[in-house]
Amino acid sequence: MIFPCTNCGCCCKRVGLVKKFLTEDEFPYDVDENGVCKMLVNDMCSVYDDRPDICKVEEMAKKNNIPKEIYYKMAIDVCNSMMDEDNIPLKFRIDGI
């Protein structure tokens, strides 16, 4: 099972909120003055294949020792809430796993 990310970019636009709690190894990229990851280019991750673990739902479930299905449901709720806040079109919403 793979997390059903719809590539809306909402999490990338908020990474500045958590970057201050991470080491350089955990998140090596810069954020702009609004907290947006500078690797977000044209609303797409320009380093997707080399993104840090904090950007990988599967890895975070493992690191937090939470069953993948439970972590996915939590992440989906957060994703959809961010999309609502940002008025992202409904076609990007995640229906579930």
Do the domain assignments include residue 79? yes
In a domain, 3, yes or no: no
**Do the domain assignments include residue 40?**
yes
Which pTM value belongs to this model?
0.83
| Residue 39 maps to a domain | yes
The pLDDT tens digits along the chain (97 residues) read 789 989 889 999 999 999 999 999 999 999 999 999 999 999 889 999 999 999 999 999 999 999 999 999 999 999 999 999 999 999 999 987 6
**Cα–Cα distance, 89 to 2 (Å, whole number):** 22
Q: Give domain status of residue 84, yes or no.
A: yes
How much of the chain is helix, strand and coil, in % rounded to 5?
A: 40, 5, 50
Enclosing domain of residue 42: 12-92
* Contacts for 27 with CB less than 8 Å, ≥ 6 apart: 15, 18, 19, 52, 54
